């Protein structure tokens, strides 16, 4: 029937527009985040004065990163200069946060080299005359990692956010996501399986909707 065919064509057009829209969003949705420790910055986790160092380790870097962000508390005064050191299996990375930043803000520090996918340690050294607090949460927030102040373990974890050197679209991150997801499945279920499932979802839903609409017209 003409009405059935026109309905199916209209449904297919809507489905095609939806797929194109999703692809457009995925291509233009830039992602800076590399990885985090999963720690909420809900309380002062490490307080460091002049010459003190606060460290968080070990940290399993699950992606390449070029900068690290921390939430700082300056007790209502301009923040002191901080030095960041990232220990790796190879050449260490470093960065600096100039003095003058505001209280209770997230501060991003760009490192002088990219941190690769490996186990790292991050230390923050206070190079100023005033104390500063690095925010985080209870020690159980990051079970495999711990915070230290001057080599003394703390009952807390420091909240740290690691970001990429350049933004990447959500669509470009799919291969990496599928590759890692395959590690948690049986040996026969490789990265290819997730691409097949994605194709099935994108192509299968419009087909199923069209079949249901055709069946409704026949009824």
User: How would residue 83 be classed by pLDDT, with cut points 50, 70 and 90?
Assistant: very high
Number of other CB atoms surrounding residue 202 within 10 Å: 14
H helix runs in the chain, sequence order: 2-28, 174-181, 191-218
Question: How far is residue 79's CA from residue 81's CA, in Å, rounded to a whole number?
Answer: 7
Residue 6 and residue 25 in one domain: yes
Residue 202 and residue 134 in one domain: no
Q: Domain count of the chain?
A: 2
Q: What is the pLDDT of residues 17-34, one digit of tens each?
A: 555 555 544 444 446 899
Residue 15 and residue 44 in one domain: no
Query: Which pLDDT score is estimated for 165?
Result: 74
CA dihedral (208, 210, 213, 219) positive or negative:
negative
More confident residue, 213 or 45: 45
Residue 44 and residue 131 in one domain: yes
Residue 93 and residue 141 in one domain: yes
Q: What is the pLDDT of residues 144-200, one digit of tens each?
A: 899 999 999 999 999 999 999 755 545 555 555 545 544 445 554 556 555 667 666
Sheet containing strand 93-97, strands side by side: 93-97, 82-87, 119-126, 53-60, 146-149, 152-153
Q: What is the pLDDT of residues 121-146, one digit of tens each?
A: 999 999 999 999 999 999 988 888 99
The whole model's pTM is what? 0.66
User: How would residue 82 be classed by pLDDT, with cut points 50, 70 and 90?
Assistant: very high
Question: How far is residue 159's CA from residue 40's CA, in Å, rounded to a whole number?
Answer: 6
Residue 119 and residue 204 in one domain: no
| Burial of residue 84, with CB atoms counted within 10 A of its CB: 0-12 exposed, 13-18 middle, 19 or more buried | buried
161-169 and 93-97 beta bridge pairing: unpaired
Provide the residue range defining the domain that includes 72: 32-166
First to last CA, the chain: 12
Query: Which pLDDT score is estimated for 188?
Result: 47
Q: What is the pLDDT of residues 7-17, one digit of tens each?
A: 555 555 555 55
In sequence order, the 6+-apart residues with CB closer than 8 A to the CB of 57 are 87, 120, 121, 122, 145, 146, 148
Residue 58 and residue 154 in one domain: yes
Residue 143 and residue 107 in one domain: yes
């Amino acid at each position: 029937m003409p009405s059935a065919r026109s309905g199916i064509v209209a449904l297919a057009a809507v489905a095609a527009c939806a797929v194109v829209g999703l692809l457009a969003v995925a291509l233009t949705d830039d992602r800076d985040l590399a990885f985090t420790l999963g720690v909420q910055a809900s309380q002062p986790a490490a307080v460091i004065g002049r010459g003190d160092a606060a460290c968080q380790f070990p940290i399993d870097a699950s992606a390449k990163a070029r900068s690290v962000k921390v939430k700082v508390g300056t007790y209502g005064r301009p923040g002191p200069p901080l030095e960041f050191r990232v220990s790796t299996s190879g050449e260490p990375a470093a960065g600096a946060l100039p003095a003058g930043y505001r209280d209770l803000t997230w501060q991003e520090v760009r490192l002088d080299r990219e941190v690769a996918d490996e186990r790292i340690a991050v230390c923050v050294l206070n190079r100023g005359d005033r104390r500063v607090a690095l925010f985080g949460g209870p020690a159980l927030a990051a079970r495999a990692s711990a915070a230290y102040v001057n080599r003394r373990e703390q009952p807390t974890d420091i909240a740290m956010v690691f970001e990429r050197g350049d933004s990447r679209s959500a669509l470009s991150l799919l291969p990496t996501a599928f590759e890692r997801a395959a590690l948690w499945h049986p040996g026969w279920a490789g990265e290819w399986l997730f691409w097949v499932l994605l194709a099935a979802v994108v192509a299968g839903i419009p087909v199923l909707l069209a079949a249901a609409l055709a069946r409704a017209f026949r009824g």
